[in-house]
Structure 1
Amino acid sequence: MTDLLGPRLKVGVVVPSTNTSAQPEMDALRPVGVTNHTGRMVINDDSMTDEPGFDHVMHSIRNSTHPAIESVVSCDPDVVIIGVSPESYWDGPGSHARVLESMRSAAGGRPVTMSPDAIKAALTAYGARRIGVITPYLPLGDDSVSRFFKDSGYDVVGIQGLGMPSPAKISHVTEEQLRDAVREVDGPDVEAIVQVGTNVPMVRFATAAEAWTGKPVISNNAVLYWHALRSSGIEDQVHGFGSLLARH
């Protein structure tokens, strides 16, 4: 027998407890017969304005990620999305395989989707190598993200942080700030714009930005959900949320 509401796919989604954007955005992306089930990494809304504060947030995320995954897998999801970005980028591409394997182990061997793999798959689908990157962070965080993409073989033409001071405050970003960030990292040499940070509510704005930039604008929550669907054999075209879900 299968789950009555989720006969096609059950998606586990793990996010920091301060995150108020990933859950509603991913719920809006669900095809018929797919359900989402959210677990939360319990962290405080600590300052990220300096290196000690940022390190403390990272330490809290690392300590709470596996318990959050374990809280989700008891409902037996088919795939688990790890909806947090810093853990994916801080130690560079060389450590990603180790991090991914630890997440899979906590998920009982289930398939796991993380931002680096999802973004790489999307950029491959678009044939893009020269990118502009938007982050939620101050320069302290931007440097690590930029280095990760460069070390992964991408040409980071521009990077712009939204300068949000704490994990919960990331969701307070305005559309004007998002617009300015897109314009800052866009340029004639940019083939795609990538936004990292799952508490940035950018799915709908990215869709609009594609219309006036004329190029892919990949929001973190949309690309994570797209990757989870496609890697699970769900090929539905989901319209109204950008070209990635509608055409790839």
Structure 2
Amino acid sequence: MNGVQREHGRAGRGEQCEVAVDHGCRRPDHSEMDRSIRLGMLTPSSNTVLEPMTAAMLADMPGVTAHFARIRVLAIDLGADSRAQFDLGPMLEAAGLLADAKVHAICWNGTSGAWLGLEQDRAMCAAITEATGIPAVTATMALMEALDLLGVRRIGLVTPYLGAVQQAILARWAAAGLDCVAERHLEDPGNFSFAEHPESLVAQLVREVAAAGPEAIAIHCTNFRGAGAVPALESETGIPVLDSIAVALWGGLRAAGAETAALIYWGRLFGLPKAE
């Protein structure tokens, strides 16, 4: 491939990995970056992965900063108590606090819409925008947009979730016209515990799913250590890998009107064009 050579890249957690780098898409000079953009991130309270990972990615975009407000999320299942964690009231309160920082976009950096339904995410975003005047998006809404832009329907799914939650996601996605050809999950009720699974395990699950030949693979949990492995996994498999932390950041940047190409190191997601 012209202009491509092997270089050592970041694999996360201090590891070195070998990735294919297209020198036509190398990290641009700081002068090329977007400036003075503030992203508001609604964050599950027990999540310990998304904030440092988002900060690591944004090191490639000086002047773009992420600001976080937390809502209480302790466990992920299909019960009433778990569903109540994602009620609109706490989301609006946290979004209002982010609005005090005059953020340019607000993102629900959680994946509950995958099993509770995109209609809940859309209603939440509409309510946030009505209350604050700020555009809003969610990790799951951004994932659906990315899949549409990629033009894919045959997907793989990797999560740490309980089987019942995984099946609820697959049912929602099937209704949206997506065909999951392979999936892996870990039967973990979470939420804090999701972060305890090492990046190497997440990468292995992605490799297993990749063997089925999906057109794209989603790592859909924002407290799961997948984002750092994406550059190496995409190089190894040739398949777009859409990690939800990266997807949420991509969606937030687009909602704020920012370009995303400066983050192409973190996955081909960031090179997708804006929808017409």
Q: Same fold (TM over 0.5)?
A: yes
CA distance in 1, matches of 2:199, 2:35: 36
User: Displacement of 1:229 after TM fit?
Assistant: 1.5
Q: Which residue in the other structure is 1:3 paired with?
A: none
Size of the alignment, in residue pairs?
Answer: 236
Aligned residues of 2:162 and 2:187 also touching (Cα < 8 A): yes
Bigger drift between 148-157 and 61-70 goes to 61-70
Q: Given the alignment of the two structures, is residue 78 of structure 1 paired with residue 104 of structure 2, yes or no?
A: yes
Q: Given the alignment of the two structures, is residue 201 of structure 1 paired with residue 225 of structure 2, yes or no?
A: yes
The one-letter amino acid paired with 1:191 is: E
1:65 to 80, 91, 101: 91
Q: Which residue in the other structure is 1:10 paired with?
A: 38
Q: Which residue in the other structure is 1:147 paired with?
A: 171
The one-letter amino acid paired with 1:22 is: L
User: Displacement of 1:94 after TM fit?
Assistant: 4.6
CA distance in 2, matches of 1:179, 1:211: 12
The one-letter amino acid paired with 2:43 is: V
Q: Which residue in the other structure is 1:133 paired with?
A: 157
Q: Given the alignment of the two structures, is residue 237 of structure 1 paired with residue 265 of structure 2, yes or no?
A: no
CA deviations 1:79-118 (Å, max 9, x no partner) are 00111111x1233345443233233334x13111212321
- Note the 1:36-185 alignment, pairs <5 A: 36-43=66-73, 45-46=74-75, 48=76, 51-52=78-79, 55-62=80-87, 64-86=90-112, 88-106=113-131, 108-185=132-209
User: Displacement of 1:199 after TM fit?
Assistant: 0.8
Aligned residues of 2:181 and 2:212 also touching (Cα < 8 A): no
Structure 1 166/193 Cα, relative in aligned 2: closer, same or farther at 3 Å? Answer: same
Output the aligned Cα RMSD: 2.2
2:55 to 24, 27, 41: 27
Structure 1 78/167 Cα, relative in aligned 2: closer, same or farther at 3 Å? Answer: same
CA distance in 2, matches of 1:17, 1:34: 23
Unaligned 5+ residue runs, structure 1? 1-5
Aligned residues of 1:146 and 1:159 also touching (Cα < 8 A): no
CA distance in 2, matches of 1:247, 1:95: 26
Unaligned 5+ residue runs, structure 2? 1-33
Identity of aligned residues (%): 26
User: Displacement of 1:78 after TM fit?
Assistant: 0.6
Q: Secondary structure at the match of 2:47?
A: coil
CA distance in 1, matches of 2:119, 2:97: 28
> When the two structures are superposed, what TM-score results if normalisation uses the length of structure 1?
0.86
